[in-house]
């Protein structure tokens, strides 16, 4: 008898899902569409691809081969996009260096990954200069400058990016890589211990980009061909949520802001509007930057340009107060969620077909949850035994998930990898409620949990409610040790300038009691104390740094009973 | 030294691109969206998935295992969608049976594939009954009826589809298949020889659906969540262009027409409009069915429902006359192209970003070409040596291509597989011109070429021009043997009813001479003869059957010099 498998004659070309195919496609099919850098400079996809090939030739000259790791520290720019494609396409590994880590952490991740080439924007040069002696593996340094001038530096040998490109040929034939080749690495900092290295293959990044790009486009967020994306989230943080890859895949315009500056964001929107009054612009960023935008001192000047703008908040919850301010300004708010381990997007709050007739308030409730899963992704909220919690929007459980775009483990760390992937599901450590629409609401992240008397308190819900209080500018809720309840919530508040000296703990307590009556929060969730300060410390990615806050207030309740 | 590959710790779940994940996702995330069958019956995605599981249990009871081939003959229906998912998801191979093949061809493909189960709609029962004795491999027959009554039949053992489902459990856990498992087979009939079996893996179908679904949605053709698709192209023909898979992936409404009937199509649009006046409806079909729709005797009655309707013509060129009639009726016309070997979609004529300000005429020219490539697909037009022809829209070459969704060969036919995949590129046999937008125009397909005096004549261009002549209803141009030039074009014309007895060859000749002056066609392209007949024979998929026409007129020019 024949071997039935032999009957399926297989003599075709096994096309791989690799990143070079994305940029080559954009250059061939959308050669005239372009990237705008800080409103000044334009680079078409055709030019991006040509410069990718120059960069690959330059890096080949610096001994970059298949598997060579190249770390880079750069703002959101056309050059960053070039590195996103050029390094993995030649078989190298793009290590996204987060310049907001501590110097010790940066030295650690370079040596741990074994990076051989380091590319750095002049703005971060002092940082790298400062740890030069601790860096063991780097053989070549490349400096990015907008003006072409190399400042004093201890780095050696050092080259200038544009100079290297100018000297290199734009002819380069990218190899036919297997799609399971590692393309990128990003380190994530947990609550304790050293940063952990997540890694992603060409396949993971490609599938993530086509699925989420397709879903976001199909649901009108980044519609091709006339849409534009403005990625505020730094590209050094988990592939800039893959927005640069998705945008290139669909051949749509990308507005790149360089160093984050709310005024530049507003100016770029204005410039784009002048050229193209009704092009939809979709902005991706964290809530803290959104706050700076929509409470910008000159916001009224920009108000008329904000129609047909959407803002997707990720990384943190979307506080309702901010969302309402967005709507007032004409900006359409959405939430998304993900983490470094997940490439990162795992959910978006796209309204579904049957919600068409829902009232605005109900739609907004839906859009401010965390976000439902794409096809080829499963997200569940489970109890400690791994059983799905009821979809009652009340029972807290942990989000576990799987999809083709998750990291398959941590670089060189088998133990933590096994913890991450226990029982075949990626354990996020995020606690959430699930509703009937399979749209989870994360109620506490990264173990930022308050566990009071054995029960979980949702700090995100408290922050959401408090953020709506008219005198509040920023709010973070943390758990503070407490004799009787183990932990109790404490609320750290930044009042708006005009209310700086007139807010009281009592008025906030009374305000929250109104929500207790509505059943929105439980009585024992009301924070023990409300502390007024001038600024809440932020992490490297713009989230409230609760790790920094906690030690500061650890003794606050030590005399409570 | 460490093995660097071991450093990338890989303990995660390797998520596969398999079809069960598409229907499971739709059932979980879009449970309330639905399929409409012939305007009468509705089935939600939740119900589709439950019935898939019942069908899988029923088939398991008939010994269907991994690799078992199940052939089915069915119209476009909710049941057909169930088979699309249930059979491959359990590891079986869905063989799409084309009931419009000749009885001999049908017996051939069943025996050649080795199908063990045969599912057939009652409408095609006489056909299968008639070849029963020639069918060697089928062990079980399942009959689909809308009324549940099994007519007289020689098939044995025979079951009724709904009865089987009713008796089967809706609990079924689909196995974790490798995405490279074969999911479907479709046979294609060439110009000569037996039908050839194309085969597609879960991976091919999944990537095809997410890429083209994403591109079509992103470009506004099938926008989620409010869009609807109406697939006129039969689902027994190359996965219904994968529209059923793509629509399920995006959780959008699907209008299923059953047996093709232009009145039912118009009625379904009307019904949908009454419920949802502004839901975009995208129709996929060949030009000949479009003609029946837009020249429907009662079209004026339906005109007001045709806003926000798009019609994508594939399989044949989109004659300009038809496209202009579409626009007059409010229908937005697009072209697409593909072939059985390519899953099938390889191009769509989606206008690009920089075409926004193009005049309508120029956009229409673009939209009536054949269609540009998606990401992760390469299509080229090459000369006989495999070199790209200039993108001058003048030089004729053959389209070759590759992408992850092509068949990797023909079932049990190594020689033809090698011909298909010569030099790592799939050779389509289609001749085309390439333009600067990389949007090819197919000028002759399937070797339907007229080669006159050593030069190619584009019959598609001639047909396009002649179709615009106000008195012409249908037109096909064929090559007829000619002593001096080897072959000369002859035009077969079906006049519109009201002009039946008054058209002359001379008026058409004069008409074409106008296009010669405009440079649109060359003088020697003008057909030697114009033959007026009542109807042009069609192939099983609704294309003009030039193979049937050619012998009829083979001696027409035997006395020419």
What confidence tens digit (pLDDT) does each residue in A422-433 have?
Answer: 999 999 988 899
Query: DSSP letter at A387?
Result: P
Annotation says A340 is catalytic = no
Buried b (16+ CB within 10 A) or exposed e, B25-43: bbbbbbbebbbbbbbeeeb
φ/ψ of B485, rounded to 5, equals: -100, 10
Nearest CA in chain A to B219: A224
Nearest CA in chain B to A400: B13
Preferred mutation among B27, B216, B218, B228 to probe A, highest tally of A CBs within 10 A? B218
DSSP per-residue string spanning B104-163: HHHHHHHHHHT--EEEEEGGGHHHHHHTGGG--S--EEEEE-SS-PPPP---SSEEEHHH
- On the question of pLDDT at B536 being above 60, the answer is yes
> Which pLDDT does position B15 carry in this prediction?
98
Name the pLDDT band for A2 (thresholds 50, 70, 90): very low
Give the separation between CA A199 and CA A409, rounded to whole angstroms: 7
Confirm or reject contact between B1 and chain A (CB < 8 A). Answer: no
- Contact state of B252 with A353 under an 8 Å Cβ cutoff: yes
Confirm or reject contact between B46 and chain A (CB < 8 A). Answer: no
Name the pLDDT band for B455 (thresholds 50, 70, 90): low
Annotation says A341 is catalytic = yes
Looking at the DSSP bridge assignments, the partners of residue A488 are A480
Mean pLDDT (whole number) for A267-288: 92
Confirm or reject contact between A14 and chain B (CB < 8 A). Answer: yes
Greater confidence (A551 vs A196) lies with A196
Closest CA to B404 of B212, B175, B251, B246: B212
**Residue A297 structure tokens:** 């001192």
- Contact state of B412 with A375 under an 8 Å Cβ cutoff: no
- Contact state of A376 with B220 under an 8 Å Cβ cutoff: no
* pLDDT, chain B, mean: 92
What confidence tens digit (pLDDT) does each residue in B311-327 have?
Answer: 999 877 788 999 999 99
> Which pLDDT does position A5 carry in this prediction?
62
Distances (CA, A) of A409 to A67, A106, A145, A195, A373: 17, 20, 35, 13, 21
Catalytic residue from among B74, B82, B179, B341: B341
- Contact state of A351 with B424 under an 8 Å Cβ cutoff: no
Looking at the DSSP bridge assignments, the partners of residue A70 are A94, A117
Annotation says B341 is catalytic = yes
Query: DSSP letter at A374?
Result: P
Nearest CA in chain A to B374: A25
Name the pLDDT band for B2 (thresholds 50, 70, 90): very low
Confirm or reject contact between B33 and chain A (CB < 8 A). Answer: yes
Preferred mutation among A2, A4, A13 to probe B, highest tally of B CBs within 10 A? A13
- Contact state of B30 with A219 under an 8 Å Cβ cutoff: no
Nearest Cβ partner of B29 from A16, A67, A373?
A373
In A435-454, the residues whose Cβ lies within 8 Å of chain B are: 437-438
- Contact state of A408 with B10 under an 8 Å Cβ cutoff: yes
CA distance A437 to chain B (A): 7
A309-313 sheet: strands from edge to edge: A41-44, A34-37, A253-256, A228-231, A281-285, A309-313, A331-338, A345-348
Query: DSSP letter at B390?
Result: P
Mean pLDDT (whole number) for B195-220: 95
- Contact state of A11 with B418 under an 8 Å Cβ cutoff: yes
φ/ψ region of B315 (left if φ > 0, alpha if ψ in -120 to 50, else beta) reads left
Nearest Cβ partner of B410 from A9, A207, A223?
A9
Give the separation between CA A555 and CA B431, rounded to whole angstroms: 80
Torsion sign across C-alpha atoms B65, B67, B68, B71: positive
What confidence tens digit (pLDDT) does each residue in A360-369 have?
Answer: 999 999 999 9
Chain A residues with CB-CB distance to B251 below 8 A = 352-353
Confirm or reject contact between A220 and chain B (CB < 8 A). Answer: yes
Annotation says B300 is catalytic = no
- On the question of pLDDT at A541 being above 70, the answer is no
Mean pLDDT (whole number) for B472-483: 89
CA distance B223 to chain A (A): 5
- Contact state of B408 with A14 under an 8 Å Cβ cutoff: yes
Q: What is the interface pTM, i.e. ipTM, of the complex?
A: 0.85
In B229-258, the residues whose Cβ lies within 8 Å of chain A are: 249-253
Nearest CA in chain B to A279: B353
How crowded is the C-beta side of A492, counted as CA atoms within 13 Å? 20
Nearest Cβ partner of A223 from B17, B33, B218?
B218
Mean pLDDT (whole number) for B160-185: 97
């Amino acid at each position: 008898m024949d071997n039935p498998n032999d009957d399926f004659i297989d003599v075709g070309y096994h096309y791989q899902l690799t990143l070079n195919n994305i940029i080559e496609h954009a250059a061939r099919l959308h050669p005239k569409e372009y990237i705008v850098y800080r409103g000044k400079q334009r680079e078409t996809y055709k030019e991006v691809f040509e410069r990718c090939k120059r960069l690959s030739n330059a890096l080949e000259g610096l001994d970059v081969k298949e598997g060579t790791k190249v770390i880079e520290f750069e703002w959101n720019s056309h050059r960053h996009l070039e590195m996103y494609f050029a390094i993995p396409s030649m078989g190298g590994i793009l290590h996204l260096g987060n310049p907001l880590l501590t110097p010790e952490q940066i030295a650690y991740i370079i040596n741990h990954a074994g990076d051989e080439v380091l590319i750095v924007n002049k703005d971060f040069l002092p940082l790298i200069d400062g740890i030069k002696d601790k860096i063991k593996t780097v053989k070549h340094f490349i400096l990015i400058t907008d003006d072409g001038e190399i400042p004093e530096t201890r780095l050696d040998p050092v080259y200038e990016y544009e100079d290297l490109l100018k000297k290199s040929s734009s002819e380069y034939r990218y190899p036919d890589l297997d799609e399971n080749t590692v393309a990128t690495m990003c380190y994530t900092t947990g609550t304790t211990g050293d940063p952990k290295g997540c890694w992603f293959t060409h396949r993971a990044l490609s599938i993530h980009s086509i699925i989420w790009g397709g879903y976001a486009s199909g649901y009108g967020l980044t519609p091709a061909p006339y849409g534009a994306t403005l990625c505020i989230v730094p590209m050094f943080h988990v592939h800039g949520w893959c927005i640069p890859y998705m945008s290139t895949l669909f051949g749509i315009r990308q507005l790149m802001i360089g160093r984050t500056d709310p005024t530049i964001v507003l100016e770029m929107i204005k410039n784009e509007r002048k050229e193209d009054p009704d092009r939809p612009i979709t902005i991706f960023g964290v809530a803290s930057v959104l706050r700076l935008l929509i409470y910008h001192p000159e916001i009224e000047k920009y108000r008329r340009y904000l129609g047909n703008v959407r803002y997707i908040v990720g990384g943190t919850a979307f506080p309702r107060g901010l969302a309402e301010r967005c709507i007032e300004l004409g900006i359409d708010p959405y939430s998304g969620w993900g983490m470094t381990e997940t490439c990162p997007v795992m959910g978006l709050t796209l309204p579904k077909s049957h919600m068409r007739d829902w009232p605005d308030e109900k739609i907004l409730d839906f859009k401010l949850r965390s976000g439902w899963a794409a096809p080829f992704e499963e997200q569940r909220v489970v109890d400690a035994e791994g059983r799905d919690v009821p979809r009652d929007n009340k029972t807290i459980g942990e989000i576990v998930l799987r999809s083709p775009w998750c990291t398959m483990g941590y670089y060189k760390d088998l133990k933590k990898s096994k913890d991450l992937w226990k029982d075949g599901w990626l354990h996020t450590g995020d606690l959430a409620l699930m509703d009937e629409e399979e749209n989870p609401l994360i109620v506490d992240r990264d173990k930022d949990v308050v566990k009071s008397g054995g029960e979980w308190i949702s700090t995100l819900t408290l922050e959401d409610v408090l953020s709506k209080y008219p005198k509040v500018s920023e709010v973070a809720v943390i758990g503070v040790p407490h004799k009787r309840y183990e932990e109790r919530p404490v609320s750290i508040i930044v009042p708006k300038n005009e209310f700086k000296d007139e807010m009281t703990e009592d008025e906030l307590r009374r305000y929250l009691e109104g929500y207790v009556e509505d059943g929105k929060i439980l009585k024992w969730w009301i924070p023990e104390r409300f502390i007024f300060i001038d600024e809440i410390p932020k992490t490297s990615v713009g989230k409230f740094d609760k790790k920094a806050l906690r030690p500061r207030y650890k003794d606050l309740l030590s005399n409570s009973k």
